[in-house]
Chain A
Amino acid sequence: MHRDHIDPHPGPAALGGDARRPDGARRALRIGLGGPVGSGKTATVAALCRVLRDEVSLAVVTNDIYTREDAEYLLREAVLPPERITAVETGACPHTAIRDDISANLEAVEDLEDSVGPLDLVLVESGGDNLTATFSKGLVDAQIFVIDVAGGDDIPRKGGPGVTTADLLVVNKTDLAPYVGSDLGRMAVDAKAQRADLPVVFQSLREDEGVAAVAGWVRQRLAAWAV
């Protein structure tokens, strides 16, 4: 996943996946969070910020469909100081901004590193999208795909690039499973079939464990990135 290479044209702004800032310092690890509308991406980002903000220097970029909703939620919840949260506008196409044309997101990340850096970690949250939405490797180093049990327990079986290829699959809102008739065991089996050895986390942010498993996975990524 690390993509160290020498930029053949050292210039004013880093391009895409360069692992180093223009001044030669290693840039922050970037982790993308994608998934369908309402699956709990923003709540997961907020929980991660609360757990990790005292351990590492972090910032968040949100990609809303209707502009600043998610950023404003994070600001209201005061999970980070406002200068560490940036919203990117996506022109009705959230998947374009994280995959096909990542320039606005790259600039948001770089501006955060310039203004509040050095940063260890930047979380890039996609606007709610469909099961095919994935992040470009030019934008993030690893991606988390968040689905929830209330969206239907057949989603892992349906697969799609998000479910199949994300570095971590999070099945959220497990506390709702009995009320919506979702079979967690079946979801686990289907996810395993789609993802082979890639990890899956079942979480409920309403229970004590909360975001701990995902935070642990992020810590592993941070440790690997620092090498």
Chain B
Amino acid sequence: MQLYLPIADLPVNVFLVLAMGAAVGFVSGMFGIGGGFLMTPLLIFIGITPAVAVASVASHIAASSFSGALSYWRRRAIDPALAGVLLCGGVTGTALGVWTFTQLRALGQLDLMIALSYVVLLTTVGSLMFSEGLRALMRTRRGALPPRRTHNWIHGLPLKMRFKRSKIYLSVIPVVVVGIMIGFIGAIMGIGGGFILVPIMIYLLRVPTSTVIGTSMVLTLVTMLFATMLHAVTNHLVDAVLALILMVGGVTGAQFGVRAGQKIRGEQLRLLLGLLILSVGIRFAVELVIQPADLFTIREVGGSS
């Protein structure tokens, strides 16, 4: 069934977009990530302009992370204090990121910057996660105990605060810094940033796995709502019809993804996610390195007059 998108100005197959939303939603529910880094390239692939894709995906991620956050809230798997501190940084970072986005666009090399940051970020995070998952898997095979958790330099920083739900005693400085970083990256790359936030919280901040996903979802939710508003007000590029189809597909897929994720062991899950992120990163890298089928591209710059 064809449906005409009012802002993207082109007809799409509703079932195709629904299926895409469901597939990405499944992955996002399974790993507790937003899935923006998968959704945006998919939309661009079916012919939607990158600007509209990035702007509309933001609201889609907001919807799926809200449904996720609600179910984590009911299971008391969200640390409100930790989420609050993260958000302080996240909102600042998003504003900074949007400002940088505008500056880069003025320089005319935004597309390259986005592609390069996708390559660097995804391959780094992906390979780290993959190798860590592999090591953990081998450890359990051998029946060895996981290495004892040690305190690192981060735990020596001042301004400590007690996060009751997570049962950690941690300085607010690294938490705010992480929030700023995620907000900044998210605004520039059009992603929620959950796939970077979760490992940082686990390995660097030592947040227990019981609260990490739910708390990161709250940050994703708020930054993506903020991004939707910003895109709607400044660029008028949010396609509500496209967003709604993606949301419906996404939240449905996410529910099944969560169930599937609970059946898989933690290490295997990390291994799979690492592999997924790595392959998207490699795809971007390949695109930059091999000669494109067409060296020329057209972009409309000014409206009709």
Q: A and B bound? A: no
